[in-house]
Amino acid sequence: MVLLRICIASLFLLLLSLSLVSYNTSKPTGFSLKLIPSDSPDSPFYPGKLTQHERIQRMVELSKARAKYVGLLSTANQISTFYPENIYLRMYIHSLFYSVQVFIGTPKRPQTLLMDTGSHLIWTQCRPCISCFNQTDPPIFIPNTSATYRKLPCAHPICRQLYQCVNNECVYNQRYGGGSVTKGLASVETFAFPFNSNQTRSVGNIVFGCSNDNQNFTFSGTGRISGILGLGPYPDSLPSQLRNLINKRFSYCLPSSMTQNSVLRFGEDIQIIPNLKRTPFVRMNRSSHYFLNLLDISVAGHRLGFPPGAFSLKQNGSGGVVIDSGCTVTNMEREPYGVVVREFQNHFVRFGLERVVNSSEGFELCYKKRRGFSHYAGLTFHFEDADMVVQPQFMYVQNYRMRYFCVALLPFTGPTLIGAWQQQNTRFIYDLNLQELQFAPEDCSRDRLFS
């Protein structure tokens, strides 16, 4: 029965996606967006010049918030029926780590959106407001000042299947963790994306949410966030809507410095990468996340031998493995987490390192750093058809002031989330046509916008 539901949902998404073919029939090309982490001075969420210790604490808090969101959503997806009024996005907004800038309308106006690979709706605040959160730079979008704005008809397939028709208007009601809610009109507009260093390319007929009723959003009082850019596998996400323009492919490469900007690439802006590894996405019923089939894990080259199905998504919403740039540090379901942490302990006990208990960063396994010590264990995720090697420098966080290091893993009761810390210096390509994640090692510090 579960398999039948998954197949029916997958067929629905395929048919709905095909209904968008007439939207963008341009010759395949590409574009890129500056991808700004929240610790960057360019970010709306820039916390100021934090100490290294404060930065790590903030990173852990963001990861825990993100994990809580994904856990809630996974559970809801398993127990909800497949009707529009039950499709609620539960999310902790402050856990989103990256922002981008796009241009909306005619004349085009900049809007700063939070990037999310775990949701699909694109939305920005719109006037006139019933209730809007603080947004001053850029100003809130005003639909009637744009020559290309129009409302999404109720008869449109996306409205019929994903949103609701109320009083002959297509509307949505997205509920978020922590009591945040956004409501508005499903709309159609022209978006513009950077084509090179001084030009943009306009693309018409993009479905997006024009939110004029937003409750309990704070965004830390930045005044610079407009909404969210959904990159998930649903038909209303940006990659799905631009599929003929970008061949349903997007990519990023996160540098080893969490304060350095990177690049979100689409279509032909993704360079040809040699020796790509490929692993298929696992289609989960009604999920906006990218699930992967994790078979086993190795620590320091020793394969742990998890039984088949150990990382599979369970009917109660637990389990499963998600590749998630919105999560900073990898969160692992507690049972396999315990096995992995014990293997790290077995590795370090051979060197007689002193254990640090109750680290202020919030990690469970930490050790005093010995002068000249270099025997740090790496980790390998053994996915279906591909192994992802996490080099030792991306498996630990260092407290230089107190001279100790911690294994950068957190326990969790929901799905395993492979976070941005463990994704550093790896090129990831999300190919929605082939339904697979492609990846290869890369020096991500060299990936520059329009270089």
CATH number of the structural domain spanning residue 95: 2.40.70.10
Strands (E), 353-414: 355-356, 366-368, 379-383, 386-390, 396-399, 404-407, 409-412
User: Considering its fold, how many domains does the chain have in total?
Assistant: 2
pLDDT of 283 over the 50 cut: yes
Total-model pTM: 0.85
Domain assignment of residue 336, given as a range? 277-443
Average pLDDT of 133-145? Answer: 94
B/e letters for 87-121, b = 16+ CB within 10 Å, e = fewer, are bebbbbbbbbbbbbbbbbbbebbebbbbbbbbbbb
Residue 258 in any domain: the answer is yes
Burial class (CB in 10 A: 0-12, 13-18, 19+), 207: buried
Q: Are residues 85 and 51 in the same domain?
A: yes
Q: Does 55 map to a domain?
A: yes
Identify whether 451 is part of a domain: no
- Phi then psi for residue 349, to 5 deg, are -65, -25
Region 62-90: what's the mean pLDDT?
44
Domain C-terminal end among 241, 267, 293: 267
Is 17 contained in some domain? Answer: no
| pLDDT at residue 144, rounded to an integer | 97
Residues 248 and 330 in one domain: no
Confidence at 81, pLDDT banded by 50, 70, 90: very low
Question: 254 and 285: one domain?
Answer: no
- Paired residues of 164 in beta bridges: 171
Taking Cα atoms as reference points, which of 358, 350, 342 lies closest to residue 402?
358
| DSSP reduced 3-state for 157 | helix
Q: Are residues 258 and 354 in the same domain?
A: no
Residue 63 within a domain: yes
At 360 the pLDDT is: 76
67 exposure class (CB count in 10 Å sphere: 0-12, 13-18, 19+) = buried
Checking if the pLDDT of 226 tops 90, the result is yes
Between 174 and 9, where is the model more confident? 174
Question: Which tens digits make up the pLDDT trace of 378-433?
Answer: 999 999 999 999 999 999 988 888 899 999 998 888 789 898 889 999 999 999 99
The gap between the terminal CA atoms of the chain, to the nearest Å, is 51
pLDDT at 172 over 70: yes
- At 86, the amino acid letter reads N
CA dist., res. 3 & res. 304, Å (int): 29
Mean of per-residue pLDDT scores for the chain: 83
Containing 61, the helix (H) or strand (E) segment is helix 52-79
Q: Largest alpha-carbon pair distance within the chain?
A: 71
